[in-house]
């Protein structure tokens, strides 16, 4: 159920997750998510959120000015 508008119709979607960390931009593309059909708000499952955190944490260590990571490739490489 959507925590914003309480609508319970969600559809499968993908999104781009962007983190700004100490002047570095970390971009994770093609992140699977559920999208609310009513308000368009996007949600991650717990599993996806966990993977995303691992991906972002490893990107933080690199401290590149801009890191662009493909979620699917990062997941399968881990």
Binding site for Zn ion (CB under 5 A): 2, 4-5, 7, 36, 38-39, 41
State in angstroms the smallest separation of the CB of 66 from Zn ion: 31
* CA–CA separation, 59 and 28 (whole Å): 10
Minimal distance in Å, beta carbon 47 to Zn ion?
A: 21
Residue 30 φ/ψ, nearest 5 degrees? 60, 40
Least gap, CB of 2 to Zn ion (angstroms): 3
Our CB check for Zn ion shows the closer of 7 and 16 to be: 7
Cα gap 49→41, rounded to integer Å = 15
Which of 4/21 has CB closer to Zn ion? Answer: 4
Name which of 13 and 58 has its Cβ closer to Zn ion.
13
Would you give the DSSP letter of residue 65?
S
Q: Are 51 and 61 in contact (CB under 8 A)?
A: no
């Amino acid at each position: 159920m959507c925590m914003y508008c309480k609508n319970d119709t969600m559809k499968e979607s993908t999104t781009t997750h962007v983190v700004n960390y100490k002047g570095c931009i970390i971009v994770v593309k093609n992140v699977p998510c559920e999208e609310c059909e009513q308000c368009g708000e996007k949600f991650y499952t717990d599993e996806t959120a966990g993977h995303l955190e691992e991906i972002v944490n490893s990107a933080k260590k690199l401290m590149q000015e801009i890191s662009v990571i493909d979620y699917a490739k990062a997941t399968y490489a881990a």
